[in-house]
Amino acid sequence: MIEARNISVRYGDTAILHDISLTISAHEITTLIGANGCGKSTLLKALSGLHPVKTGEVLLSGHPLSDWSRKEIARQIAVLSQSPQAPEGLSVAQLVEHGQFSQKSLFSRGNLADVHWALEQTGMEDHADRPFDDLSGGEKQRVWISLALIQKPQMLLLDEPTSYLDLGHQIDLLNLLIRLQKDQGIGILMVLHDINQASFYADRLIALKDGHVYADAAPHDVISSELVKSLLNADVTVMQDQSGNHPYCVPFGRI
């Protein structure tokens, strides 16, 4: 679905990503992990065309991103950035309506049934007329996901969607993403900070270190105490769940 071919990204003189090649599938949940500043967010932006690449190219459905207009990209990829900002005073429904921008042409208008559908997907349909500014952090995050869903994308990219949420809301949100993947067939690529959540919710982990892909496989093939030490500079003991598919980390010496 999205393919990066030897992409490098720089901010001014600082190289952020070096020669990265990978393919992101629209049929699974892929998670980017890595230390702060390793280039996870930048990779997410580069893959969705929100940040230009210095060398190499990104292909979307087999064609270079530069061949697609912003609207055409928006119909295939929706991105939820880390701290999106909404205009003041909008109701939840008015905010979500804005996601129909890419579907609209000069003479066609958005439709309210789609707004309702998008809010239903995230369980926010009863809040349609509430002011967005009054919502809690967890509710706001669901509304942002509705805004992304109304674009009818094949892929949803999320940059640390669980930051600023308490554990209950984090799990709610991750379960919602799993459901969207299963029911709607939307591919998910997200940046997560919590390696254990990544292990339990992702089909595939991509570990980034200093702008390079350090590991790229299913969670049980990626997570090891050596990798965590090298990637995040944390001393952990890796435990196994019953299925053996979802290893998880606890602080070393604490168990």
Partner 1 sequence: MSTRSALPIYLVLLLIVCLLSLRFGAVEVAWSDVFNITSETPNANTQVILDYRLPRTVAAIVIGSYLALSGLVFQTVLRNPLADPTMFGVSGGAAFAVVAAMSLAIYLFPVGESLQVATSYLPMAVVPVIALVGSLSATALVFWLAWDRGFSPLRLVLIGVVLAAVLNGIVMAMVLTLSETRTELAILWLAGSLYARDFSNVLPALPWGVAAISAIVILSPQLSALRFDPQTAASMGVATRTLAPVLLGIAACLAASAVSIAGPIGFVGLIVPHLARLIARPTIAAQILSCLFIGAILVVASDTVGRAVAAPLEVPVGIVTSLLGAPVFAFLIRAQAKRI
Q: With the C-alpha atoms ordered 84, 88, 93, 99, is the resulting torsion angle positive or negative?
A: negative
Contacts (CB under 8 A) with partner 1, residues 149-188? 151
Which amino acid is located at 67 in the chain?
D
Name which of 148 and 238 has its Cβ closer to partner 1.
148
Q: Between the CA of residue 155 and those of 21, 92, 109, 110, 236, what are the distances in Å?
A: 18, 23, 24, 21, 33
Element (H, E) at 250: strand 248-251
Taking the complex as a whole, the smallest distance from the CB of residue 74 to partner 1 amounts, in Å, to 3
Alpha helices by DSSP H, the chain: 40-47, 70-74, 92-97, 112-121, 137-149, 167-179, 195-201, 219-222, 225-232
Tokens of 232: 């995040």
Q: Which one of 15, 22, 35, 50 is in contact with partner 1 (CB under 8 A)?
A: 50
Say if residues 247 and 197 touch (Cβ distance below 8 Å): no
Name which of 50 and 176 has its Cβ closer to partner 1.
50
Tokens of 88: 């003041």
Taking the complex as a whole, the smallest distance from the CB of residue 34 to partner 1 amounts, in Å, to 20
Contacts (CB under 8 A) with partner 1, residues 105-124? 106
Alpha carbons within 13 angstroms on the beta-carbon side of residue 121 total 27
Name which of 139 and 222 has its Cβ closer to partner 1.
139
Q: Sketch the per residue contact string, 65 through 94, with partner 1: x for CB under 8 A, - otherwise.
A: ----xxxxxxx-xxxxx-xxxxxxxx---x
Residue indicated by tokens 């939840």: 92
Name which of 70 and 182 has its Cβ closer to partner 1.
70
Taking the complex as a whole, the smallest distance from the CB of residue 119 to partner 1 amounts, in Å, to 17
Name which of 25 and 94 has its Cβ closer to partner 1.
94
Name which of 80 and 213 has its Cβ closer to partner 1.
80
DSSP per position, 200-238: HH-SEEEEEETTEEEEEE-HHHH--HHHHHHHH---EEE
101 is a contact residue toward partner 1 (CB under 8 A): yes
Taking the complex as a whole, the smallest distance from the CB of residue 137 to partner 1 amounts, in Å, to 17
Taking the complex as a whole, the smallest distance from the CB of residue 81 to partner 1 amounts, in Å, to 4
Tell me the site size for partner 1, rule CB under 8 A. Answer: 34
Contacts (CB under 8 A) with partner 1, residues 182-221? none
Name which of 11 and 101 has its Cβ closer to partner 1.
101
b/e code 64-102 from CB counts within 10 Å (16+ = b): ebeebeeeebbebbbbbbeeeebeeeebbbbbbbebbeb
Question: Where does this chain bind partner 1 (CB under 8 A)?
Answer: 45, 48-50, 69-75, 77-81, 83-90, 94, 98-99, 101-102, 104, 106, 147-148, 151
